[in-house]
Amino acid sequence: MRVAMYYSNRDVRLEEKPTPSIGHGEILVRVLASGVCGSDVMEWYRVPKAPLVLGHEISGEVVAVGEGVSRFKKGDRVFATHHVPCNTCYHCLRGNHSSCDTLRTTHFDPGGFAEYIRVPAINVDRGTFLLPDEVSFEEGSFIEPLGCCIRGQRLARFQVGSSVLIIGSGITGLLHIQLACAQGAGRIIATDINEYRLRAALRLGAEEVINANDDVPNRLREVNDGNLPDLVIVCTGSARAIEQAFSMVEQGGSILFFAPSDPGIKIPLPFNEIWWGGITMTSSYAASPQDLAVAIELIRARRVNVGDMVTHRLPLAETGRGFQLVAEAKDSIKVIIEPQK
């Protein structure tokens, strides 16, 4: 089968690998859509592990089932997640599934930028879902990133009617905008340095947008009835943006850090201001199976419109171009690879 082998953001090669064989409890999925995630282009994290086949936002069709599989059959349309928890460890039993050691070691074989993937038994058991008829394969590739946003807003204690600031209007920022809308947010404000993405934020639900190079705290008060936002979601790893978030949240509000920074980055913390202001800070990584189930329903019910977020659809041979589009972060939102083309 063909795979897109990653060596670096500017070196992704179309290569051949044997189609995986499946064992007990496993399924073989023909990948129909695979999204390029912002984490796929973090070279500091990916290059030391290269060469490898990336791709974890997938949907496709079951083409073979292993012995012992009863929930799925050949021909089923499915979404599968690469990371699944054990559901029995200390962290899982406390509801903190993304800290589970098992979750951090589970993955597809070889990865979503391939014609076929082997889904291991544990992923079949608790990380594979039937796609509703109303959800296309392309839309199914958004289930994993939307599930991550759902977990993040839940941990940040989102409240109906809250004003929300999204710092960084890339794909995750735009998903957070739509999710906040779907959950009944008050005023939603988005920032970015890219005007293309700010226009997308307005189109997808933000009431106000602010260029991040402006005097953002003062502009926030102007557009939010004199107050700063109740919830600030930081969807960029920029050290400057992370540091700015502390001056952009209302007293008693919350900050959700949703993206990693480069390794070794240290952020000075205005401790007294945070303490006096009663600011809550949290971070979020990955999604639990429950969050993924909610994501499927939000997409099925069209409460979150993921279809209009796709700007590029590329065949497997052009995966390298897809990586460059995402890494450049200019005139693209969501890049979908179609491995069967």
> Which pLDDT tens digit goes with each residue over 134-187?
999 999 999 999 999 999 999 999 999 999 999 999 999 999 999 999 999 999
Residue 131 pLDDT: 98
- If you average pLDDT over residues 51-67, what whole number do you get? 98
Q: Could you give the residue range(s) of every CATH 3.90.180.10 domain in the chain?
A: 2-147+286-338
Residue 300: band (very low, low, confident or very high) from pLDDT cuts 50, 70, 90: very high
Query: Which band of pLDDT confidence, cut at 50, 70 and 90, is reported for residue 56?
Result: very high
Measured distance CA(166)–CA(32) in Å, rounded: 31
Q: Identify the burial level of 252 via C-beta atoms within 10 angstroms of its C-beta, where 0-12 means exposed, 13-18 middle and 19 or more buried.
A: exposed
Give CA separation, 87 vs 53, 112, 127, in Å: 27, 24, 12
For the stretch 64-84, pLDDT in tens is: 999 999 999 999 999 999 999
Instruction: Show Cβ contacts of residue 93 under 8 Å, excluding neighbours closer than 6 positions.
Output: none
Mean pLDDT computed over 91-109: 94
Tell me the pLDDT band of 32, cut-offs 50, 70 and 90: very high
Asked if 60 and 78 count as a contact pair (C-beta separation under 8 A), the reply is yes
pLDDT in tens, 172-230: 999 999 999 999 999 999 999 999 999 999 999 999 999 999 999 999 999 999 999 99
pLDDT tens digits, one per residue of 108-120? 999 999 999 999 9
- The predicted model scores a pTM of 0.96
User: Quick one: what percent of the chain has pLDDT higher than 90?
Assistant: 99
The pLDDT, as a whole number, for residue 341 is 96
Q: How confident is residue 311, by pLDDT bands cut at 50, 70 and 90?
A: very high
- Burial class (CB within 10 angstroms; exposed 0-12, middle 13-18, buried 19+) of 261: middle
Fold for 2-147+286-338, please state it. Answer: Quinone Oxidoreductase; Chain A, domain 1 (3.90.180)
Residue 2, both tokens: 């063909």
Start-end of CATH 3.40.50.720 domains in the chain = 157-283
Q: What is the pLDDT of residue 202?
A: 97
Average pLDDT, the chain: 97
Q: 98 near 287, Cβ under 8 Å?
A: yes
Q: CA 215 to CA 211: how far, in whole Å?
A: 9
pLDDT recorded at residue 292: 97
**Which pLDDT value is given to residue 86?**
96
Amino acid occupying residue 25: G
pLDDT band (50, 70, 90) for residue 297: very high
Give dist(CA 128, CA 79) in Å, integer.
Answer: 6
Spatial separation of the C-alpha atoms in residues 84 and 330, rounded to whole Å: 32
Burial code of 50-78, b = ≥16 C-beta within 10 A, e = fewer?
A: eeebbbbbbbbbbebbbeebeebeeebbb
* Residue from 102, 148, 97 nearest 123 by CA: 102
The pLDDT value given to residue 248: 97
Q: For residue 265, give the amino acid letter.
A: I
- Give residue 247's pLDDT: 95
**Strands, DSSP E only, in the chain?**
2-8, 11-16, 27-35, 57-65, 77-80, 116-119, 128-130, 164-167, 188-192, 208-211, 231-234, 254-257, 280-283, 310-315, 334-338
pLDDT band of residue 263 (cuts 50, 70, 90) is very high
CATH class for the domain made up of 157-283 = alpha beta
